[in-house]
């Protein structure tokens, strides 16, 4: 094997040859980006040998730490057989096994698994399936069901369908002319309530407004799309209890579909394998990705019901087939990694152990309330967001140009903790395998960052 290029060469090539996602290149180099070489458990190791606690699970997907021998070995064993074969009109053993396992674990009634490559495509698939279902079910009697309801602040990925249902202006507004029109419900963002209510006394008007939107457009709706548990990229915005259940009832009443995007909240992040379990909700479509392979390989799944599947069963010449599929759909290495991940979750009882860690994480981030510049702290499961503001009283944000969230994360890096913010929300979303001691180290690093980078806030 040729020698790995030296760190300075890699840095130069990184600067010169790469275009990074969600990254303003005008400031990229100044913000001390990591250049990772290896991983070990909950730690990342850069090309200079520095270790960083992975405080965001390498973007919300590395559930069980890096370089897990069981997942490494599962991929190696699969490699000894085959790396990839197509699912288009054919099958492969390990993808079948994974589909069977997912159906056995999923809420009752979700009996069909459609694989794709990432979170965006898992949502894209659900949207297209839902749309096509109404076009062809019952001889076309429901063809008018073409519209989707989604929330402000929603994030469902970056392909154009998932951007259409997305509701984060900074990411999505520029593309609006390319997108289909969506009915938009308010975000349950209590700290900056879009309806200007006081969370202490409100009657969940945001939910009421969403339910009305569903009710008033019932006949035209192809589906309602939500991230259950919490809105992730929107700023770790947790829903009030009972919210999801009410939306499920409204979609039942409206005779339409509920699409749940569990790309961030699923796979144990909230202490249950699927977020919807917590409100005993069974959606018509369930989208999972990120943690599915333990953060090893790009693989996603869209689970749906037999009712949906059967509407695509006419003779081929009728054109009812779902004409959608990605080349690497059901990739064998990804499926092997996913099976190994599910094995570890089960064998090590990760989900029952994580409940205590969720509590501990809440207590630890709770320490930050008194710091200047900390406006709000939100948590859902093993995900927390600390919203920085210039003035706690008025909730005035910092000017975006000051990049305070990023500065706090850069300061945390100097304390050996890797974090990546969402604007001025510092996100903490560690692997489920993190220990209590490591949670403390992580929150200490956030505290240090806030104390040094937003100290003059009111």
Which residues make up the interface to ligand PLP (CB under 6 A)? 118-120, 123, 155-157, 227, 232-233, 261, 263-264, 289-290
- Residue 226 CB, nearest approach to ligand PLP (Å): 10
Instruction: Decide if 285 contacts 126 (C-beta within 8 A).
Output: yes
- Count of other CB atoms within 10 angstroms of residue 438: 20
- Nearest-approach distance from CB 296 to ligand PLP, in angstroms: 13
Q: Strand, helix or coil at 219? A: helix
CA of residue 237 relative to chain centroid, distance: 12
Half-sphere exposure of residue 161, counting CA atoms within 13 Å on the CB side? 16
Q: How far is the CB of 215 from ligand PLP (least distance, A)?
A: 25
Q: How far apart are CA 309 and CA 399, in angstroms?
A: 49
> Shortest Cβ distance from residue 278 to ligand PLP (Å)?
16
Cα(101)–Cα(165) distance, rounded to whole angstroms?
29
Minimal distance, residue 102 CB to ligand PLP, in Å: 17
Least Å distance, CB 214 to ligand PLP, is: 20
CB nearer ligand PLP, residue 87 or residue 264: 264
Of the pair 232, 283, the CB lying nearest ligand PLP is at 232
CB closer to ligand PLP out of 133 and 155: 155
Distance CA 193, CA 232 (A): 17
**CA–CA dist 154, 165 (Å, integer):** 7
Dist CA 144 CA 134 (whole Å):
8
The structure tokens listed for 353 are 């152990």
DSSP class per residue in 313-372? -S-GGG--S-----TTTT-HHHHHHHHHHHHHHHHTTHHHHHHHHHHHHHHHHHGGGGST
Q: Closer CB to ligand PLP, residue 233 or residue 237?
A: 233
Nearest approach in angstroms of CB 431 to ligand PLP is: 16
- CB closer to ligand PLP, 180 vs 448: 180
- Cα gap 458→455, rounded to integer Å: 8
Q: DSSP secondary structure string, 129-198?
A: HHHHHHHHGGGGTTTT--EEEEETT----SSHHHHHH---HHHHGGGGGGS---EEEPP--GGG-TT---
Q: Nearest distance from residue 227's CB to ligand PLP, in Å? A: 5
C-beta of 297 vs 409, nearer to ligand PLP: 297
Residues 6+ apart with CB under 8 A from 370: none
Toward ligand PLP, which CB reaches closer, 263 or 419?
Answer: 263
Cβ atoms within 10 A of the Cβ of 34, count? 15
The least distance separating ligand PLP from the CB of residue 387, rounded to whole angstroms, comes to: 18
Question: Which of 156, 172 has the CB closer to ligand PLP?
Answer: 156
Residue number, 156 or 357, with CB nearest to ligand PLP: 156
Closest approach, Cβ 4 to ligand PLP, in A, equals: 28
114 in Cβ contact with 304 (< 8 Å): yes
Q: Could you tell me which residues are beta bridge partners of residue 44?
A: 39, 52
Select the residue whose beta carbon is closest to ligand PLP and give its number. Answer: 119
Tokens of 409: 């994360």
Is the Cβ of residue 78 or residue 122 nearer to ligand PLP in the bound state? 122
Task: Give the residue carrying structure tokens 């699912």.
Answer: 87
Q: How far is the CB of 279 from ligand PLP (least distance, A)?
A: 17
Cβ-based nearer residue to ligand PLP, 126 or 374:
126
Written as six digits, the tokens of 171 are 């990411």
- CB distance 273 to 144 below 8 Å: no
CA distance 119 to 159: 10
Residue closer to ligand PLP (CB basis): 55 or 119: 119
Cα distances (angstroms) measured from residue 202 to each of 150, 196, 206, 230, 322: 22, 10, 9, 19, 44
């Amino acid at each position: 094997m040729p020698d790995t290029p030296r760190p300075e060469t890699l840095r130069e090539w990184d600067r010169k040859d790469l275009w990074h996602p969600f990254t303003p290149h005008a400031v990229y180099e100044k913000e001390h980006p990591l250049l990772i070489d290896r991983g070990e458990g909950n730690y990342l190791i850069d090309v200079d040998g520095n270790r960083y606690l992975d405080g965001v699970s390498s973007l919300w997907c590395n559930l069980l730490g890096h370089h897990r021998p069981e997942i490494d070995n599962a991929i190696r064993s699969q490699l000894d057989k085959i790396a990839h074969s197509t699912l288009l009109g054919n099958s492969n053993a390990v993808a079948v096994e994974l589909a069977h396992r997912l159906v056995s674990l999923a809420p009752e009634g979700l009996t069909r698994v459609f694989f794709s490559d990432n979170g965006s495509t898992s949502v894209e698939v659900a949207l297209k399936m839902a749309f096509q279902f109404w076009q062809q079910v019952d001889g076309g009697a429901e063809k008018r069901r073409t519209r989707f309801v989604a929330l402000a602040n929603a994030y469902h990925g970056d392909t154009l369908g998932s951007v259409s249902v997305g509701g984060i202006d900074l990411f999505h507004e520029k593309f609006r002319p390319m997108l289909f029109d969506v009915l938009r419900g308010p975000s349950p963002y209590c700290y900056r309530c879009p309806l200007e209510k006081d969370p202490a006394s409100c009657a969940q008007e945001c939910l009421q407004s969403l339910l009305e939107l569903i009710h008033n457009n019932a006949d035209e709706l192809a589906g309602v799309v939500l991230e259950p548990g919490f809105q992730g990229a929107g700023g770790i915005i947790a829903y009030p209890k009972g919210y999801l259940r009410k939306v499920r009832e409204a979609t039942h009443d409206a005779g339409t579909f509920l699409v749940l995007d569990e790309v961030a909240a699923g796979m144990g992040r909230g202490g249950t394998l699927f977020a919807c379990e917590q409100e005993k909700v069974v959606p018509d479509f369930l989208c999972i990705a990120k943690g599915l392979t333990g953060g090893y390989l790009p693989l996603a799944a869209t689970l749906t019901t037999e009712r949906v599947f059967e509407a695509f069963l006419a003779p081929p010449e009728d054109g009812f087939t779902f004409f959608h599929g990605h080349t690497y759909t059901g990739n064998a290495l990804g499926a092997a990694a996913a099976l190994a991940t599910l094995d570890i979750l089960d064998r090590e009882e990760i989900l029952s152990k994580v409940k205590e860690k969720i509590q501990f994480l809440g207590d630890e981030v709770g320490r930050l309330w008194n710091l200047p510049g900390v406006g709000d702290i939100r948590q859902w499961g093993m995900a927390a967001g600390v919203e920085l503001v210039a003035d706690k009283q008025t909730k005035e944000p910092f000017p975006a140009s000051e990049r305070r969230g990023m500065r706090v994360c850069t300061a945390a890096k100097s304390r050996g903790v890797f974090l990546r913010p969402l604007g001025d929300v510092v996100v903490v979303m560690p692997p489920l395998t993190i220990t209590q001691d490591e949670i403390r180290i992580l929150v200490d690093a956030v505290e240090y960052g806030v104390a040094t980078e937003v100290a003059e806030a009111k």
